[in-house]
């Protein structure tokens, strides 16, 4: 129940992202048995429609879990106990690869970078030259905690120039918002999630492995996330376990609309939305956290030192229904993250910026109200 009948909740956080009505309603088919030809066909359709967004000749697998489940699946299926792995850690999600590697007893080498920055391909290359026995490299497409887009193509090229290590990309907040070309860039595993770029609710995740990765599967014990078992079934549309059927109906509806634009069209669209958001932040006088490599999925902006960022998030939510994400850990209270990821339209973004401007105004920040929305409108119109 809403606390205030005149305040609608609107998601402007980097996941979950808003779900259009026709995609929600597609998920209302609840009395469904999944071991039927009709349902198997839907799974096959979804895998086929997902494939272009991964830029891979291999169809991705669909898992019923949040994105982290697919991260875990990738790590468990591609590493054995004691394997040396390199993790790029530039925020909460880099940290997650590190924790997963430790949980599964890999020897984790870290390349830690300051939050808000992008990794340097030359440094990644040096790490691999120093560690020729490194089995795999793990990093993000977007570090969602900082709004930085990692230069995936350059990183992969640098890795490949010195190493055969498997390249595993957490693209949970990248896919749809940013092109990922798994085959062209020679990536070995790409992971994505339903509640980010695909505009459906949380609960499905996707993982695609390269031909090379399929020949290097780990020998360690695994059960729920046994990707070889999943693949042999899913190639016929049969998931290993009971899938989140309602979400798969929504996924198909979302993929049909996204496919009309295709990965390139979606990338260009998100590039423009991100540009509009950055121009708005500049007009409002708030500096970007990512001084280079800003993400197309979200924009993280620094708040004035005197402002309590958590209070700003709360004001925007309570008064205007605008749900932003604040900063985590060392950035707690210091930034606000505005998502333009998934099925977000121009008016959504303009509304988000208007809410942010009003929230800033309520907390005593002095700027010309409307300067941010005007900048966004000029970019989008
Ligand atoms: C959202 C996200 C995840 C997955 O988080 P879940 O809460 O498990 O869905 C992983 N990596 C990145 C970069 C993300 O943005």
CATH number assigned to the domain covering 10-17+262-380: 3.90.1150.10
CA of 166 to the centre of ligand 1 (A): 21
Q: Indicate whether 2 pLDDT > 90.
A: no
Residue count of the chain, please give it.
Answer: 381
Mean pLDDT computed over 239-260: 98
Q: Whose CA is nearest to atom 4 of ligand 1?
A: 67
CA of 366 to the centre of ligand 1 (A): 35
Atom from ligand 1 closest to the CA of residue 15: 1
CA of 363 to the centre of ligand 1 (A): 31
pLDDT at 153 (0 to 100): 98
CA of 341 to the centre of ligand 1 (A): 13
Q: Which DSSP helix (H) or strand (E) runs through 265?
A: helix 245-284
Strand, coil or helix: 142:
strand
Atom from ligand 1 closest to the CA of residue 143: 13
Q: Which of 193, 202, 206, 328 to mutate to test the pocket of ligand 1 (most atoms within 8 A of CB)?
A: 193
In the structure, what pLDDT confidence band is assigned to residue 309 with cuts at 50, 70 and 90?
A: very high
Residue that the structure tokens 């991705």 belong to: 60
CA of 14 to the centre of ligand 1 (A): 9
Output the ligand 1 site: residues, CB below 6 A. 14-15, 66-68, 93, 140, 142, 144, 170, 172-173, 193, 196, 202
Say if residues 299 and 349 touch (Cβ distance below 8 Å): no
Tens-place pLDDT, residues 29-38: 999 999 999 9
Q: Which of 63, 172, 244 to mutate to test the pocket of ligand 1 (most atoms within 8 A of CB)?
A: 172
Atom from ligand 1 closest to the CA of residue 297: 15
In the structure, what pLDDT confidence band is assigned to residue 134 with cuts at 50, 70 and 90?
A: very high
Dihedral sign (CA 25, 30, 33, 34): positive
CA of 279 to the centre of ligand 1 (A): 27
The CA distance from 172 to 157, in Å, is: 21
Q: Whose CA is nearest to atom 6 of ligand 1?
A: 67
The answer to whether the 10-17+262-380 and 21-259 domains have the same CATH topology is: no
Mean pLDDT computed over 4-26: 96
Burial profile 192-231: b = 16 or more Cβ within 10 angstroms, e = fewer: bbbbbbbbbbbbbbbbbbbeebeebbbeeebeebbbeebb
CA of 69 to the centre of ligand 1 (A): 9
What token pair was written down for 81?
């106990």
Tens-place pLDDT, residues 179-236: 999 999 999 999 999 999 999 999 999 999 999 999 999 999 999 999 999 999 999 9
Say if residues 219 and 227 touch (Cβ distance below 8 Å): no
Q: Indicate whether 333 pLDDT > 90.
A: yes
Which residues does 130 contact at the CB level (< 8 Å), separation at least 6?
none
Tens-place pLDDT, residues 350-365: 999 999 999 999 999 9
pLDDT at 265 (0 to 100): 98
pLDDT at 11 (0 to 100): 98
| Cross-strand pairs, 193 | 205
What token pair was written down for 226?
């046994």
Q: Are strands 148-149 and 142-143 parallel, antiparallel or unpaired?
A: antiparallel
* Domain boundaries, given as residue ranges, for the chain: 10-17+262-380, 21-259
CA of 232 to the centre of ligand 1 (A): 26
Nearest to 113 by CA among 335, 309, 293, 304: 293
Q: Whose CA is nearest to atom 12 of ligand 1?
A: 172
How crowded is residue 184: how many other Cβ atoms within 10 Å of its Cβ?
12
Q: Which of 16, 17, 63, 68 to mutate to test the pocket of ligand 1 (most atoms within 8 A of CB)?
A: 68
Chain centroid, CA 350 distance in Å: 22
Distances in Å between the alpha carbon of 217 and those of 183, 306, 312? 18, 51, 47
Q: Which of 93, 96, 148 to mutate to test the pocket of ligand 1 (most atoms within 8 A of CB)?
A: 93
CA of 94 to the centre of ligand 1 (A): 11
The CA distance from 250 to 267, in Å, is: 21
Strand (E) positions, 259-359?
298-302, 322-323, 325-326, 335-339
Instruction: For the chain, give the percent of residues with pLDDT over 90.
Output: 98
Q: Whose CA is nearest to atom 2 of ligand 1?
A: 172
Q: Indicate whether 1 pLDDT > 80.
A: no
Q: Indicate whether 171 pLDDT > 80.
A: yes
pLDDT at 3 (0 to 100): 80
The CA distance from 136 to 159, in Å, is: 10
Atom from ligand 1 closest to the CA of residue 71: 10
What architecture (CATH level 2) is domain 21-259? 3-Layer(aba) Sandwich (3.40)
């Amino acid at each position: 129940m809403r606390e205030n009948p005149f305040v609608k909740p609107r998601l402007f956080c980097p996941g979950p992202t808003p779900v259009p009505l026709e995609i929600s309603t597609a998920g209302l088919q609840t009395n469904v048995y999944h071991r039927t030809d009709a349902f198997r066909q839907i799974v096959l359709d979804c895998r086929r429609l997902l494939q272009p967004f991964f830029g891979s000749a291999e169809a991705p697998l669909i898992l019923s879990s949040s994105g982290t489940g697919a991260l875990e699946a990738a790590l468990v299926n591609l590493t054995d106990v004691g394997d040396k792995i390199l993790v790029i850690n530039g925020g909460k999600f880099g940290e997650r690869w590190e924790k997963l590697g430790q949980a599964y007893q890999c020897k984790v080498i870290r390349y830690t970078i300051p939050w808000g920055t992008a990794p340097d391909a030359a440094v990644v290359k040096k790490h691999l030259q120093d560690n020729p026995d490194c089995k795999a490299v793990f990093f993000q497409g977007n570090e969602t905690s900082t709004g930085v887009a990692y230069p995936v193509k350059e990183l992969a090229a640098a890795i490949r120039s010195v190493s055969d290590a498997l390249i595993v990309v957490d693209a949970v907040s990248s896919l749809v918002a940013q092109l990922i070309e798994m085959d062209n860039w020679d990536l070995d595993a790409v992971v994505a999630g339903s509640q980010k770029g695909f505009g459906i609710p949380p609960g499905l995740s996707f993982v695609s492995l390269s031909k090379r990765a399929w020949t290097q599967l780990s020998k360690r014990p695994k059960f729920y996330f046994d990707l070889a078992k999943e693949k042999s079934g899913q190639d016929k549309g049969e998931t290993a376990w009971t899938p989140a059927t309602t979400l798969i109906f929504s996924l198909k509806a979302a993929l049909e609309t996204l496919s009309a634009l295709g990965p390139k069209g979606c990338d260009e669209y998100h590039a423009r939305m991100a540009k509009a958001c950055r121009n708005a932040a500049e007009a409002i006088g708030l500096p970007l956290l990512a001084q280079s490599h800003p993400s197309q999925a979200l924009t993280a902006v620094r708040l004035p030192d005197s402002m309590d960022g958590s209070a700003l998030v709360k004001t925007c939510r309570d008064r205007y229904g605008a749900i932003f994400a604040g900063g985590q850990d060392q950035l707690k209270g210091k930034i606000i993250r505005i998502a333009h990821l998934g099925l977000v339209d121009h008016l959504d973004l303009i509304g988000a910026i208007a809410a942010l401007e009003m929230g800033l105004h309520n907390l005593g920040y002095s700027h010309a109200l409307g300067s941010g929305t005007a900048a966004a409108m000029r970019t989008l119109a």
